[in-house]
Amino acid sequence: MLLAVNARGFAEETFQEGTPPAAAPADAAAPAAPAPPVLIAPPSAETVRGKITAWLAQRGTTDAGLVEKIAQRWTLGDEPRTPEELFELAIATLSDVDADTKAFVDACGLTAPPLLPPEPKLLERVAEGPFYTANLGLVYAKYLVHRQMFDEALALLESLPATEVVDPAALLFSKAVCQHHLLQKAPGLATIEQLLKNTTGVPMRYATLASLMQYDLESLQDKSLDEVAKRMFDVERRLKLARTGEKVQKREEEVITTLDEIIKKIEEQQGGGGGSGGNSNKSSAPAQDSVIKGSTAPGNVDPKKFKNTGEWGDLPPKERSKAKEDIARKFGAHYAEAVEKFNVKQAGRPARKDK
């Protein structure tokens, strides 16, 4: 259909009667067709069990008691297991075989995470094979997401092959969570699309939350108040992680600059509005003083009653200090700092001329 429409339009513009159509340039390449979506499916229980057996053989595990324990664990019977259950069985098996792996998995426990994240040196064990490093990497990535370390988690998740992990839906969902919090709109929507439409074995809770994130990202507008609020939350998250470097300071400046632009735009709209269409009721003389019917008093006010005491809009030092403490307690110190920087900018801006 597209070729037919193009050919007809070209003929109407350039062809003359009896003139053959010109040949297309030799180097004109047809537009590449979009790549078909890739369907991601979790491995079956037999496949996971086979990879576990191969990993044990590679390590040369000969402990009869341990081998028997693992064999009993993987006697699953006829009841089907979810990818999440198979993932937990696989991680438990890796932990039983290797003490360092067990210590690492325990350190990534979501119930009592340590103050500092554990060192992921085990992920560098290339000799253990991709099955080991990919699934142990997913354990660590889920831990980082739980700790709201979205930058580190996303970098790790993007390096994990979905074909090696036992629970690919958990990988995609964790990746989408990171992209949503980091306001990566296009990549986040692509990940959610893959999760919802081209991945099997997705738990209902993943699908529900992914749909909510999809709606949130689709409605996100650049330099809107909603986006500014999300960026302020991101700055607050980084500060809670004790990160105060140049990257965080730059993000704070971006928030302040965007707020300044939004306020300036609102001021311009308010200052320039209502002037179209003309006004035929304009008077060339100023309005007369208004008086109450039946009143003979001139309506003057004693200026002594409105003497400027210096407290209107200017709190005493003690109350001003208490207000600052309330702001810091309710909203965090970085909000007070952001407001202070914005007020400094506002003080340096020239006054808007009334129109």
Specify whether 149 is located in the same domain as 237. Answer: no
Q: Which of the 8 DSSP states describes residue 40?
A: B
**The whole model's pTM is what?**
0.64
Judge if 62 and 88 occupy the same domain.
yes
| Length, in residues, of the chain | 355
Q: What residues make up the domain containing 238?
A: 222-269+336-343
Assigned domain for 29 exists: no
Higher pLDDT, 339 or 70: 70
Do 153 and 242 belong together in one domain? no
Give the number of domains in the chain: 2
228, 216: one domain: no
Residue-level pLDDT at 345: 59
Residue 76: predicted pLDDT: 85
For the record, the structure tokens of 223 come out as: 């330099």
DSSP assignments along 330-346, one per residue: HH-HHHHHHHHHHHHHH
Check whether residue 106 and residue 83 sit in a common domain.
yes
- Same domain flag for 246 and 130: no
As a whole number of angstroms, the distance between CA 65 and CA 97 comes to: 11
- Per residue in 310-338, pLDDT (tens digit) is 444 456 667 667 666 666 655 555 556 66
Whether residue 203 is found in the same domain as residue 239? no
- The answer to whether residue 39 is domain-embedded is no
Confidence of residue 121 (pLDDT cuts 50, 70, 90): very high
Hey, what's the torsion of the CAs at 18, 19, 21, 23, to 10 degrees? 140
How confident is the model over 262-273, as pLDDT tens digits? 788 888 888 755
pLDDT of residue 99: 94
Average of pLDDT values for 196-206? 94
Band of the pLDDT at 3, cuts 50, 70, 90?
Answer: very low
In a domain, 291, yes or no: no
CATH code, 151? 1.25.40
Q: Same domain, yes or no, for 151 and 239?
A: no
Lowest mean pLDDT among 72-81, 125-134, 248-257: 248-257
Domain termination site, one of 220, 245, 260: 220
Residue 247 pLDDT greater than 80, yes or no: no
Q: Quick one: 61 and 168 in the same domain?
A: yes
38 found inside a domain = no
**Is 232 part of a structural domain of the chain?**
yes
Last residue within a domain, chosen from 220, 246, 281: 220
